[in-house]
Structure 1
């Protein structure tokens, strides 16, 4: 018998109940709701009814909550939250970046997605990252990270417009209003914002517009101070008044292109800040893509995610398909985690071999997610002993489920995808669900603030393979979208949503989402336990990166299987999730400690 998601019974705190008390109206969101500079509470878990939100920032979650309380739906809340992220977490996401938007429509019962990934400029050359003097790739840091050469055409504003047009009830102007207010009035600087500013100090000092905004007086804004971004507030007003055309055409598009082609380099800087080739015509030509989701069935649940150019949906799905060949429910935790590490290695080998932008390369999605292919790959998983890493990719275009002889040692390509990005989750009173992951790539993106506009441009083109190969599915090409590990995921049972989750973290996003699903479904953890549990990030390497708490808990047992763990002081992922239980009871969770903890809120707290 498969395990069901049980009903939750924990109640929200009295303080939260008082904060959220009040009637819900159908009127537009009032900007005055966010005028206070007092930080909303960080609440890692909330239970209740009537809708819920979860993000990594309390101001963002407060804005989403207020949108739901005033009658907005999950899409309205998600767009308002994403706009606020561009203000309070500008180094992770914003209108200068892109992302993937996954939506469950309660009326139709369908899961639908929007691909708002950035695209390579039309004039970029496939050897843009190669030093002609040496014939070798430029060093990733510092040469490629900062500057215009790595900036892709942003997709985030177009994603917001498309989502609201398809599923929203509020205008883009209304959705932008609360974030505009926060940008104008300011927010309280926390430890994470301060530390990420310091992390980027050398890069930011190399660019005049960036240092003027984020290093006032040459220093990072102090913890507890109020940070304001009036230029971004005005940019949001420009988009609110003119629609996304005001971003992709006209003066704003010209400013973006100029910043890419001639970055505002500070006098005397020694940091490489290479120029890019993006034009205003590239911006005007950008389009989001409505894509069918990918899905797999796992122990009675239907797991939906993003199709290529995202690699998250297929790699999470393939890992689960391989694991489904084994009875994990009868095994202890170390045995389950051994299977997780081995299945992940096999799926990551296939990710490297096949995943790229499906509009440019032939990605065998059907094969990668076929149960017969999973059975064939599972033959290589020894339940008692770790395989030598890296393992080789399978043949996702020709398979019959018959166990194959392991091939020669595989290759792990260099992965330059940054463990930055952010994620949010929203569920409304009607049962609509949004899982949205958005990013700038590096923490601080390209480092370029568009002068006078208040936002950072992405450096997503570094997600392409740095060295060009005609056989590499993730090779750099004009107009192409780089491969992404983002994995916004919605889980259905009997056609109804029971869980939505996602995470930032670069390629470790895939591990975070997969491990949370295993924790919840196979290990029987509550969703609160599943998000808090220590994590490992197996990616087909000789050593598996793992949080210290994971090493402390499972290191000895997993060493017995032949695994080598490499502890990291950094958090692996920073997830958000909402579980939908019987009777519409919602359990919203955010990270309790990673990256300082997130904030999960419900409209009507249980027990209030």
Structure 2
């Protein structure tokens, strides 16, 4: 049987019907081994549109919309809404994200910033224990009403459909409503994530009722069918009345009451944390923002990403400009040398991220200068081709550079990572050549832990992405109305104005390195996109140790990086937990004529993903 990713049993009937009609192909299995690796990657090659997500139900929802004549934007909203049902701990209407769109007719990339915002009454010491004047433990910060930002996902869907969609909101929500009502089969990942958050869910009655329904508040059993009538009703309500019904009226009042009246405690040793300060006016004032994308040219490829408030586009782009200086494809047989430069370039780019990047509505971000190839050339001077630099490395001076190597280094920037690893990503294309790359999240696995009673969705804890200790020098300091800095990096790559590759990933600040490493694997190391996505990952974010998956550390090139170059590695997390994995990426690569798509998803990370096309490859 071909590999279909997660929750095969939940959609067998729908897939069988589609296969019978010849409209939907099952993904083939690709051996994506590198240096002896034998992972099986979900990959589907074909025509008429394609999709890659972490979940089969979500991929099937997108394909259903494409089969009905919808475009990539319609399908992306359908997939995202379905992920709000099947991946409720990663995404949903209680969160936010970034939407990147390639318009085939105009040959243009555009973006929407749907990041959450801080309420107008957000205190700058929101996460500080008044007794100790120190930040609360992160788990307490995250499990609180005060951590909830004004959600941006509903406004993002509405804006995307308004600008580029061909279907109504109600039509795009239909597949998700069907999944919520009929249910999906619980797998090991869903149960594990529930149990990992049990202590966070227990304080909130609506959360306990929905996600811990078993005896002694046990999580749903593997193999059981999980339904969510509340989210189905919420989607039906929004489909009928539009997204104004989320940001004003009864639902908005319920969200505000939930945030402000959530159980709270000032005891630093117990959950939850402080109650929230969101108001109805905060919801009513929210706007998803149309933005120009970031852009760099890397070895003849035009790479487009998200501008601030995301740090993804600037950091990926700067790292690519740094790497452009080196002829990495000429030395691709020396994989450790290529990876050494990748790790060093990301450390430099992360140093500049920490110094300069925040919400541009509140901070003057030198985006153009950070993405200037001359600045990248000057930063490349800091890389020793033979030895790993001591970390953290110095931030560059974006106000004074000329591309030469004669300047004195600036002060070291030791940035604290405030982002959690859990998010989700989807990639969609259609038969007209339009492409969507969309990363969305509720931040922490399980968000704030707070379900809006009777509505079936979890509220985000995105405001923990702000630096908890306020400093006027910090571009990511807490400010009312501000969007916290994000690492989400939905990326579309063009070649001669035509799509070449679209990709993105969850993973907190490791999103940036996941996207960058996949690009390096594909463009510089010459891997196929299947191999590039499946390859073991390592993430250098300007810290003393490189965070890496165990398979990377144990590989010959990982050992060579340690002994030959002096890189220090630490495992990504405890084996068997989601923290042990870096990212859960999705991607679609396109043929030179743009007609054939290769959709690729994760082989094993987060339980494996799902890649589907509308029509299979012609033999």
Shared fold (TM-score, shorter chain, > 0.5):
yes
Give CA deviations for 1:228-257 in whole Å, capped at 9, x if unaligned: 111111111110111001111011000000
Return the alpha-carbon distance in structure 2 between the equivalents of residues 91 and 600 of structure 1. Answer: 21
Map of 2:102 onto structure 1 = 104
User: How many angstroms does 1:408 deviate by?
Assistant: 6.1
8 Å CA contact retained: 1:311, 1:486? yes
Give CA deviations for 1:545-568 in whole Å, capped at 9, x if unaligned: 111111112222112111111123
Map of 1:168 onto structure 2 = 165
More divergent stretch after superposition (272-281 vs 362-371)? 272-281
Aligned pairs for 1:41-120 (under 5 A) are 44-120=42-118
8 Å CA contact retained: 1:263, 1:273? no
Give CA deviations for 1:283-320 in whole Å, capped at 9, x if unaligned: 01100000000010000000000000000000000000
8 Å CA contact retained: 1:145, 1:462? yes
Map of 1:566 onto structure 2 = 570
Map of 1:385 onto structure 2 = 387
Give CA deviations for 1:504-548 in whole Å, capped at 9, x if unaligned: 000000000000000000000000000011110011111101111
Q: Aligned pair 1:229/2:221, yes or no?
A: no
8 Å CA contact retained: 1:446, 1:456? yes
8 Å CA contact retained: 2:260, 2:277? yes
Map of 1:601 onto structure 2 = 612
Structure 1 residues 285 and 11: CA distance shift in structure 2, 3 A: closer
8 Å CA contact retained: 2:41, 2:530? no
8 Å CA contact retained: 2:96, 2:114? yes
Q: Secondary structure at the match of 1:75?
A: helix
User: How many angstroms does 1:278 deviate by?
Assistant: 0.2
Map of 1:375 onto structure 2 = 377
Q: Secondary structure at the match of 2:238?
A: helix
Structure 1 residues 299 and 12: CA distance shift in structure 2, 3 A: farther
Q: Secondary structure at the match of 2:427?
A: strand
Map of 1:402 onto structure 2 = 404
More divergent stretch after superposition (582-591 vs 44-53)? 582-591
Match of residue 550, structure 2, among 532, 548, 562 = 548
Q: Secondary structure at the match of 1:391?
A: coil
Return the alpha-carbon distance in structure 2 between the equivalents of residues 498 and 558 of structure 1. Answer: 30
Structure 1 residues 62 and 441: CA distance shift in structure 2, 3 A: same
Q: Secondary structure at the match of 2:612?
A: strand
Structure 1 residues 426 and 401: CA distance shift in structure 2, 3 A: same
8 Å CA contact retained: 2:112, 2:290? yes
Map of 1:243 onto structure 2 = 242
Map of 1:330 onto structure 2 = 330
Aligned pairs for 1:175-214 (under 5 A) are 175-214=172-211
Match of residue 157, structure 1, among 154, 157, 160 = 154
8 Å CA contact retained: 2:22, 2:615? no
Q: Secondary structure at the match of 1:342?
A: helix
More divergent stretch after superposition (313-322 vs 560-569)? 560-569
More divergent stretch after superposition (580-589 vs 367-376)? 580-589
Return the alpha-carbon distance in structure 1 between the equivalents of residues 19 and 314 of structure 2. Answer: 39
8 Å CA contact retained: 2:93, 2:457? yes
User: How many angstroms does 1:171 deviate by?
Assistant: 0.2
Give CA deviations for 1:185-233 in whole Å, capped at 9, x if unaligned: 2111111111000000011111111001000031100011010111111
Q: Secondary structure at the match of 2:45?
A: strand
Return the alpha-carbon distance in structure 2 between the equivalents of residues 79 and 20 of structure 1. Answer: 23
Match of residue 590, structure 2, among 580, 590, 595 = 580
User: How many angstroms does 1:272 deviate by?
Assistant: 2.7
Q: Secondary structure at the match of 1:485?
A: coil
Structure 1 residues 43 and 168: CA distance shift in structure 2, 3 A: farther
Match of residue 525, structure 2, among 520, 523, 526 = 523
Q: Secondary structure at the match of 2:79?
A: helix
Return the alpha-carbon distance in structure 2 between the equivalents of residues 461 and 174 of structure 1. Answer: 32
- Unmatched segments (≥5 aa) in structure 2: 6-11, 25-39
8 Å CA contact retained: 1:389, 1:409? no
8 Å CA contact retained: 1:76, 1:170? yes
Return the alpha-carbon distance in structure 1 between the equivalents of residues 346 and 406 of structure 2. Answer: 18
Match of residue 476, structure 1, among 475, 478, 484 = 478
Structure 1 residues 264 and 50: CA distance shift in structure 2, 3 A: same
Give CA deviations for 1:150-197 in whole Å, capped at 9, x if unaligned: 000000001001000111110001011110111112111111111000
Return the alpha-carbon distance in structure 2 between the equivalents of residues 112 and 160 of structure 1. Answer: 14
Map of 2:353 onto structure 1 = 351
Return the alpha-carbon distance in structure 2 between the equivalents of residues 283 and 423 of structure 1. Answer: 25
Give CA deviations for 1:70-90 in whole Å, capped at 9, x if unaligned: 111000000000000000000
Map of 1:557 onto structure 2 = 560
Match of residue 512, structure 1, among 508, 511, 514 = 514
User: How many angstroms does 1:129 deviate by?
Assistant: 1.6
Return the alpha-carbon distance in structure 2 between the equivalents of residues 152 and 316 of structure 1. Answer: 26
Return the alpha-carbon distance in structure 1 between the equivalents of residues 20 and 105 of structure 2. Answer: 28
Q: Secondary structure at the match of 1:374?
A: helix
Return the alpha-carbon distance in structure 1 between the equivalents of residues 479 and 566 of structure 2. Answer: 40
8 Å CA contact retained: 2:316, 2:512? yes
8 Å CA contact retained: 2:393, 2:542? yes
Map of 1:278 onto structure 2 = 278
Give CA deviations for 1:16-56 in whole Å, capped at 9, x if unaligned: 8984453779xxxxxxxxxxxxxxxx971000111100000
8 Å CA contact retained: 1:55, 1:598? yes
More divergent stretch after superposition (395-404 vs 342-351)? 395-404
User: How many angstroms does 1:140 deviate by?
Assistant: 1.5
Q: Aligned pair 1:123/2:125, yes or no?
A: no
Provide the alpha-carbon RMSD of the alignment: 2.1
Q: Secondary structure at the match of 2:147?
A: coil
8 Å CA contact retained: 1:418, 1:506? yes
User: How many angstroms does 1:134 deviate by?
Assistant: 2.4
More divergent stretch after superposition (500-509 vs 61-70)? 61-70
Return the alpha-carbon distance in structure 2 between the equivalents of residues 100 and 159 of structure 1. Answer: 8
Deviating beyond 3 angstroms after TM superposition, the runs of 4 or more aligned structure 1 residues are 10-13, 15-21
Return the alpha-carbon distance in structure 2 between the equivalents of residues 360 and 539 of structure 1. Answer: 24
User: How many angstroms does 1:66 deviate by?
Assistant: 1.1
User: How many angstroms does 1:404 deviate by?
Assistant: 3.6
Map of 1:33 onto structure 2 = none
8 Å CA contact retained: 1:20, 1:603? no
